[in-house]
Structures are given as C-alpha cells and as structure tokens.
Amino acid sequence: MIKMQYITLNNGVKMPLVGFGVYQIKANECEKAVKEAINVGYRLIDTAQAYYNEEGVGSAVVNSGVPRDKLFITTKVWISNAGDDKALKSIDESLRKLKTDYIDLLLIHQPFGDYYGTYRAMLKAYKQGKVRAIGLSNFYDARFIDLCENMEIKPAVVQLETHVFTQQRKMTELMAQYKTKLMAWSPLAEGKNNLFTDKTLKAIGSKYGKTNAQIALKFLAQKSIVSIPKTVHKERMIENLDIFDFNLDKEDLKRLDALDTGKPLAADFTDPKLAKFLLDYDKTFNPANS
C-alpha cells in the first residue's frame, strides 16, 4: 500500500495530502467507490451535504475495516442550511448520515446566504468536539479576509478550484497571513485545456515515468496543496495516489508554474449567473424534492 503524506493545519490537526473526492458520484454507487478508495490507501474522503451521498460515505467508512481515527472525513454545509440554527441542525444531520461522532474538516460550501451564521454554528460544533477543524470553500479575496478578521478561530482550510492552469497565487498569499491551507477541488481541471495530453506535462512525465495526471497532482502536493481527485475506476485511484516516490526538480516546477492562466476554468464566482444557479441548486437537485 502507498504511504500517505500529511500536512499540519493551523490548529495542529494533521490532514492527508491527497484525498478521494465523491462529487457527482451517485448515492447508490458511492459506498462501493469509497470502500475501494480506502482499500487502495486513501485516508481523506471529501463529500458535502449538496452531493447527497454522505450516507454512502458513512457506510463505506463503517464497513472499511479501517479504524475511524485513521480516516479523515470532510463535508460541507450547503447554502439552504445557512444560518446559526439551521447550520447547527444540518451538522448533526451530517454526523448521522456519516455514521460518526465527529467530522475531521467542516467547510462552508459557498460564499452565499448567511455564511456568518453558518461559521458561528461551525465554531460551536468545533468547541463541542463534533468537528476537528473548520474552513471555507469558494471564498475569495475580500470575503475571505472579512470573515477571517471577524472570527476568533481562523479557517484552517479554503477549498478552491486549483490545478496547473489555475494556481491561485493571490489567494495563497492572502491565506498565508492566517496559516490557512489550500485544498484543490478539480485538481485535474476536469480534463480541460487538454490536461491529459498537454505536451509540457507529458515531457516532464516521461522524465519520471509518470502520467500527465500524476505530474499535475504531484505539482500540487509538492506545494503542500491538498488535492481530492475523483474517479470510480480502481486503476485511476491507484494512479492518482502513486505520486510520493519522486520529486519534481526546480526546473520542472518552473515549467509547470508557467502553465498558470490566472483564471478559473470551471467556475467564476464573480458571475451573477453562477450565484443564481447555486442559490437555486438545492431546489433543483435535491432528491428529496423530486
């Protein structure tokens, strides 16, 4: 089994550097995929209330044969559960679905709705021992700073679209002020910009005997950025985790740095249309509403 590497969050909690994401994995397929990922060697599992598959993650964890304290579970509070009271109730509901007494990392999923109330609820859950670390997802620039400056416990993690083409340099600088770690969603850019056939990644990969995906993930890992690639194929699970037996040299890192476009490829959080889509998301996609 591949030996995992870890980073230390600003509250001393250790977090695996590579995890398994379950976004868009159907509820009835999630348990099998997560069990496979755990068997392969993943110890970080990333889910969310709005993925509607927390129960599958919980069942996989319980039936994995791996002690709970060896696993790291991340979930996220959705916009429709925003606010002090609703968020607190939703955290207890996530705990029930995940079949666990605590969540390792709890994030506010989107920077919309009463996210101040949600953060206060997460702080309460943190102090009650229901959560080991708290953070944010998709918070940028001023909103990130505003929340940090007004909350006693600073976010341990911010999860953002991050990959070789969108490297989040500005946010990394801002987050460093609070010792907040960056966590990459879409670490393989959803295959955009021809990531899997990109010539720079391919040339570097040939030097180390690695694939484009492995080079892209190693680039993040070497910068201490947590990544959560998603796949339902066992061979890809193994491939995505097999990045700890080599290091990119300075020249290769420079070549990969040069791939940064400075722009998001998957989601622009300044786009009003995206905001409206996310605010209506639960009404449209929640299976309970169908």
Q: How far is CA 30 from CA 20, 34, 51, in A?
A: 11, 6, 10
Query: What single DSSP character describes residue 163?
Result: B
Residue 81: helix, strand or coil by DSSP? helix
Which backbone phi and psi does 71 adopt, to 5 degrees?
-110, 155
Backbone φ/ψ region at 136: left (φ over 0), alpha (ψ -120 to 50), beta: beta
Please check if 109 is assigned to a binding site.
yes
Annotated active-site residue 51? The verdict is yes
E strands, 205-285, are 226-227
Q: Which residue has the tokens 């909103």?
A: 143
With contact defined as beta carbons under 8 Å apart, do 16 and 215 qualify? Answer: no
Task: Give rounded-to-5 percent helix, strand, coil for the chain.
Answer: 50, 15, 35
Neighbour-count burial of 252, counting CB atoms closer than 10 A to its CB (0-12 exposed, 13-18 middle, 19+ buried) = buried
d(CA 85, CA 289): 22
Tokens of 172: 């990394």
The active-site residue out of 51, 52, 126, 140 is 51
**Binding site for substrate: what residues are annotated?**
109
Q: Indicate which residues carry an active-site annotation.
A: 51
